[in-house]
Structure 1
Amino acid sequence: MFRRTLHSLFSLQSYSVYHRFVSQSKNMKIGTHDGVFHCDEVLACFMLKLLPEYKDATIVRTRDMAKLNECDIVVDVGAVFDHRKKRYDHHQREFNETLSSLRPELGEKFNIKLSSAGLVYTYYGEQILQQLVPSNVSLKPADLTVIFKKVYQNFIEEIDAIDNGVPIASEEPRYKIRTHLSNRVGRLNPEWNSNQQIDMDEVFKKAIALVSSEFLYSVNYFISVWLPAREFVRDALENRFEVHKSGQIVEFKERFPWKEHLFDLEEEMEIGHEVKYVLFNDKPNSWRVQAVPVNPTSFVTRKPLHKSWWGVRDEVLSEVANIEGCVFCHSTGFIGGNTTREGAYQMAVASLEADM
């Protein structure tokens, strides 16, 4: 039900926001380059149009400097980065700014070179997010900062990196991802051998519609789904010694997104990386014990479940583990299941005490 509601919410927002681009204003102009477009300037223009002062602005696509100089704000063209003048190009040889270099109060980990999307988000991101907060949600300043960073990490940063040619890995990736947003936006451009007459401004609007739905969904997810789980994780960390004397097992009463919260709160609470396992109720008569990964996106864990259980199921697993109600243990030992809370807890304790 919630997913349907969330989908409806961002779909309606996307529809409403998309139709802002039909309106024209003689007052405000957003400038960007013409010709082949990329995801970064499409997103930059869309985010600016979310702000009240630019919601009715005309998007001017040109490389004519005289026309760009008439614009109130310019992104991804012009060879100038100057926040005071509202000029946000990143193609200059001397440009090496990152979110951390421009916003050092956010920490040092945001070290990807910014694109025009990242520049707009750096300076206007909080204002943009505030336009998208549901009316029934009240965000504290600290919450807004958390959301700002998560949207950057999980949406904007990828676009910055791809546009600037920053590789995703230090070595050659083992497989390619060709379905990411930047690639899908790029596919809207005419093919090199197409003979059709195409109105590029209309195609640019299609790109904005595509980007808008993805961005709005991401923001709504982090505000309405992800953030509410934060206090549950905090409570579990504060009460972890009541679960097990080691403090290395935490318990959630239900399934929710916890990994990024756990890592953030471990740092905030200065408790190190001592938590090894998470217990949670998946559904009636179904509990999970999950090994904490070394980082939120890794498949490598701090301490996997007992190695003798890997890939074993049901009665055989219960016999091997000497624990009733076992359902499964993943072949890599990152997660296991039991029919009861007590059984899942015993699986965590046995794994914790095992010499791996």
Structure 2
Amino acid sequence: MIPDFLVTHSGGFHADELLSSVILTRLFPQARLVRSRAPEWITAGADRIIYDVGGGYDAAAQIFDHHQRGAPLREDGQPYSSFGLIWKHYGRDYLAASNLPEADIEAVHAGFDAGFVLPIDLVDNGALSPSGPLAALTLPALLETLKPAFDETDPDADDRAFHAALAVARSFVEASIGKRAAKLRAEALVLRAIEETGEGRVLELPMGMPFRPAIVKAGADHLLFVVHPRDKDWCLTGIRRGDEGFELRADLPAAWAGLTNGDLEAVCGVAGASFCHNGRFIAAAKTREAALAMAELAVTEATAA
């Protein structure tokens, strides 16, 4: 059934119904978004989806509230907000409508739920309370700064602010999902490159991209460095040992640290070497051949230790 109306509550808004609206307005662009607490609107009907209002959760009746007694919980006991409920029931359709490859939908759906939706759910239910200097810069807090001031007298101010905030919320949802989809595309490219590299220590990629997750997934512990083009130059990059911290599997040679152009060429003996960061985690060269030559030198030094 294609709804004629998408119904959420009027008045002040929060991240959960804004983000729910992102999903639903993408799926049902022809539906009219109604913000109301009037009984005739927040009563379930065949022509509407009701969310974050209505006092019930019944997917078959298309009502998705979480404020009532006996509100729905995830399998692990954590609470849903309306966003989590809408994502649970409509997220896969949203991803399909966003032209995500079918093979990637489940992975992106689960990853977005865990990394984006769940924190919104927890904050909205008071199960997570960000603190410290960054608390006011969380996505829920920033979206709420778009509400009208308390003494705004224009009766349309809330709705105007809601739709302005909806556009902002949409950009964050689309960007987050886009990055997750891109990581899966990168993973496929990196896994293919690992297979082609065999037992070599240097992984060459066709462009800059996230590479460490795929290297870990493949169990390619033998790899020490990655080479790829960047604009008109080529990069030589180390591989971090862990998800956190900056320790590398192998550092670039200490003699290269902080050098550029002619000074770096003189020390490493590679024409076209152009830069090495003082931290020895990234270097650059003017050509592919120079970058690969630098990589082999770095491997030789690292494996000789």
TM range (shorter): 0.7 to 0.9
| Corresponding residue number in structure 1 for 2:104 | 143
Deviation, 1:272, is 5.6
Q: Quote the Cα distance in structure 1 between the aligned partners of 2:295 and 2:78.
A: 38
Provide, for residues 163-182 of structure 1, a one-character-per-residue CA deviation record: whole Å limited to 9, x for no partner. Answer: 456367xxx77x63755543
1:117-132 → structure 2 map (5 Å cutoff)? 117-132=83-98
Contact in 2 for aligned 1:278/1:292 (Cα 8 Å): yes
1:336-351 → structure 2 map (5 Å cutoff)? 336-351=283-298
| Residue identity matched to 1:45 | S
Residues 1:279 and 2:227 aligned together: yes
Structure ID, larger Rg: 2
Question: Secondary structure in 1 aligned to 2:262?
Answer: helix
| Corresponding residue number in structure 2 for 1:251 | 204
5+ residue gaps in structure 1? 1-26, 103-110, 134-138
- Distance verdict in 2 for CA 1:94–1:236, change over 3 Å: farther
- Distance verdict in 2 for CA 1:295–1:86, change over 3 Å: farther
| Corresponding residue number in structure 2 for 1:6 | none
Q: Quote the Cα distance in structure 2 between the aligned partners of 1:177 and 1:142.
A: 36
| Corresponding residue number in structure 2 for 1:8 | none
| Corresponding residue number in structure 2 for 1:76 | 52
Q: Quote the Cα distance in structure 1 between the aligned partners of 2:140 and 2:49.
A: 23
Deviation, 1:333, is 2.9
1:200-211 → structure 2 map (5 Å cutoff)? 200-211=158-169
Aligned length: 296
Deviation, 1:251, is 0.6
TM-score normalised by the chain length of structure 2: 0.75
5+ residue gaps in structure 2? none
Deviation, 1:228, is 4.7
Residues 1:290 and 2:237 aligned together: yes
1:37-116 → structure 2 map (5 Å cutoff)? 37-52=13-28, 55-62=30-37, 67-70=41-44, 72-78=48-54, 80-91=56-67, 97-98=73-74, 101=75, 114-116=80-82
Q: Quote the Cα distance in structure 2 between the aligned partners of 1:317 and 1:113.
A: 57
Q: Quote the Cα distance in structure 2 between the aligned partners of 1:312 and 1:196.
A: 62
| Corresponding residue number in structure 2 for 1:317 | 264
Question: Secondary structure in 1 aligned to 2:213?
Answer: helix
| Residue identity matched to 1:236 | A
